[in-house]
Structure formats: C-alpha cells, structure tokens
C-alpha cells in the first residue's frame, strides 16, 4: 500500500529536481483574467499554471496561463551565466486565454535548442497546431512561435492515455465551454487529477463519468472552484463549479486531498480565506485529508512511503 503525506510550503528557487519526491508547485491559481494588487497577495493573481517536478530533468507543466512566465523565470534565472536548453512537456486543458497567454512569454523559448512539447485538445475539424498558431501571431503578438529560438511542438490529443517520461498521463474530455480536457498524472506512486475548468451540473450533484474516472482515489485533486453558491445561481452555465461541488467531486471520487483552484478574479484574499474555511467545514469534506485553496508559490510534496498505510 502507498500512503501520501501532504506538506505545504513556500517554494524556493533551485528546489526542483530532487529524485524520489513528486512536488507540485502553483505558479498561477487564478481563472478568467489575471489580477494584481495588495488584496491578492496571499493567493496570487497569475492565471492557471502548475508545475510537477517528478525528479526528472524535464518538468511536467499543467496549462500555460500567465503563471508560466513566472515558471520560466524560475527555470531560467535572468542573472544565470549560461542557460542549458530546456526540454519541458506541457499539458494544455483548453485554449481559453487564461490557460494560454503565458506560452509566448515562457523565457526558456529564447534559448536555441529548447523544446516545449505542448499536448492539447484536438479542435474538431481544425488542426490543434494551426489553431494555436493563429492565436500567437501578429497582430495579437509581435511574432509567430516558429520565429522563437526554441521550438514549440504542438500535439493534439483526445480521450487517451500516454506516457511522458516516468509519468502516465490520462486525458479525458470534460464538460466546460468548448473542447476541454481534464488530466490525471500518475508518477512515482503519486497521483494527481487536474480539472481546472469544469461545468458543474445544474442539479449540483451528478458527476460526469470522465471526471470520476480521472479523480478516482487520487492523492491530490486540483478542481475548479470559481464560484460560491450565490454566484453560481447567476452564472450556472458559464462553464465552472462551486467550492461545494469541488468538495462533492473529491468526496465521491475518494480523492485524499482537494485543492480549490481557478479563483475568480473578483475574489480577494479575505474572500478566498472565507471560501476555503467554509469548504473545509462542509460535511462531505470530513473524509478528506485536507481542503486548501491554491496559493501562488505553494508547493505540495507527495511523499510516498511504500509499505505504510
């Protein structure tokens, strides 16, 4: 049996790459639109981007929101004399701006020889790579990605499971707005589900089969928690979930810990602290090891100890 111990700490530069420990760091926690100011200091204002350090050289990145710029600065310090080319893999849930805007600002792509493989949702009849290329091009951005010194390799995926280094990645279509994937990553005995944008059902109770499959028994579930119940009643078809629904999915899928994610830009620190404690006090949260709202700069350590319960 394998157990997980969840430790939360502030991440520090130079920490990535420890063999034998899976670390998950939040570089962007926000949904919809970035925000800035003193009222957002605790939870941060960058949009969706999470890095998984599997102990291998290449980090596994979830989404390319504005937090990806900060991750780039972490992986490629500006004052560093020489930056070796980076090879990274990025899982893109969907193409909304809040999940894509950081891609052309990812500084390792300024280095010749760098390679970022982007695995993202197939776009029906359109080619995934062509759609991304049409978003990063003048007049929306000064240059096209093929003009970067590093290479962005765009790979369309659908309902499938594939191997990236030591990680097994499962991609499934989930309800949101437009073609959207949720991901599950199993690596080094640890498991994580990433469902950052997900339309909760109007009954507030049923759970999509694909979501249940992704989240089943995971150590950590990172789930859309954009709205409180009142907001959801106004925006019930805007593609998102409530904190209560995130707790419900975590409980029903037997996830061990829940990270509330994709914070609404109108939710400042005080509001989110309140939402976090309300979510943790829900009856369905009683069986979870922890319920926490994602904070920018937070690292979760998934420390697996074979042989323990």
Which residues contact Zn ion by CB under 5 A? 31, 96, 98, 197
Please identify, using beta-carbon distances, which residue of 98 and 276 lies nearer to Zn ion: 98
Which residue number, 197 or 264, has a Cβ lying nearer to Zn ion? 197
Task: Quote the least distance from Cβ 76 to Zn ion, whole Å.
Answer: 25
Query: 33 or 282, CB closer to Zn ion?
Result: 33
Q: Which residues pair with 221 in a beta bridge?
A: 193, 258
**In 3-state terms, what secondary structure has residue 245?**
helix
Q: How far is the CB of 57 from Zn ion (least distance, A)?
A: 29
The residue among 96 and 223 lying less far from Zn ion, judged by its C-beta, is 96
- Provide the b/e sequence for 79-108 (b: ≥16 CB within 10 Å): eeeebeebbbbbbbbbbbebbbbbbbebbb
* 3-class state of residue 32 by DSSP: coil
Closest approach of Zn ion to the CB of residue 21, in Å:
29
Choose between 96 and 263: whose C-beta lies nearer to Zn ion: 96
Pick the closer one to Zn ion by CB: 56 or 197. Answer: 197
In DSSP notation, 115-171 reads EEEEEEE-BTTB-HHHHHHHHSSTTTSSS-GGGSSSEEEEEEE-SEEEEETTEEEEE
- What is the closest distance, in whole angstroms, from the C-beta atom of residue 47 to Zn ion in the complex? 7
Q: Least distance in Å: CB of 151 to Zn ion?
A: 26
Terminal Cα-to-Cα distance of the chain (whole angstroms):
6
Q: Is residue 4 within a helix (H) or strand (E), and if so which, with residue range?
A: strand 4-10
In this structure, are residues 112 and 194 in contact, taking their beta carbons and an 8 Å threshold?
A: no
| Least Å from the CB of residue 99 to Zn ion | 5
Place of tokens 């979870």: 288
Q: Which residues pair with 87 in a beta bridge?
A: 115
């Amino acid at each position: 049996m394998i157990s997980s111990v969840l430790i939360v700490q502030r991440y520090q530069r130079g920490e990535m790459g420890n063999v034998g420990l899976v670390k998950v760091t939040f570089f962007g926690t926000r949904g919809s639109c970035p925000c800035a100011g003193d009222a957002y200091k605790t939870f941060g204002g960058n949009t969706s981007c999470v890095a998984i350090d599997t102990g291998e050289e290449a980090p596994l990145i979830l989404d390319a929101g504005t937090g990806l710029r900060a991750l780039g600065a972490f992986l490629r310090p500006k004052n560093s004399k020489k930056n070796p080319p980076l090879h990274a893999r990025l899982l893109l849930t969907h193409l909304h701006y809040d999940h894509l805007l950081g891609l052309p600002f990812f500084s390792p792509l300024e280095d010749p020889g760098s390679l970022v493989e982007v695995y993202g949702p197939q776009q029906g009849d359109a080619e995934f790579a062509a759609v991304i290329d049409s978003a990063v091009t003048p007049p929306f951005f000064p240059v096209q990605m093929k003009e970067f010194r590093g290479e962005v390799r765009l790979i369309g995926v659908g309902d499938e499971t594939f191997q990236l280094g030591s990680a097994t990645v499962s991609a499934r279509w989930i309800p949101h707005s437009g073609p959207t994937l949720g991901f599950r990553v199993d690596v080094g005995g640890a498991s994580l589900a990433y469902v950052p944008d997900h339309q909760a059902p109007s009954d507030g109770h049923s759970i999509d089969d694909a979501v249940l499959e992704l989240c089943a028994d995971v150590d950590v579930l990172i789930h859309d928690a954009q709205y409180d119940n009142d907001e959801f009643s106004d925006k019930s078809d805007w593609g998102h979930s409530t904190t209560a629904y995130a707790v419900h999915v975590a409980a029903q899928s037997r996830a061990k810990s829940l990270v509330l994610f994709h914070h609404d830009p109108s939710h400042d620190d005080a509001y989110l602290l309140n939402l976090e404690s309300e979510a943790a006090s829900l009856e369905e949260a009683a069986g979870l090891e922890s319920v926490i709202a994602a904070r920018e700069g937070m690292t979760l350590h998934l420390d697996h100890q074979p042989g323990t319960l």
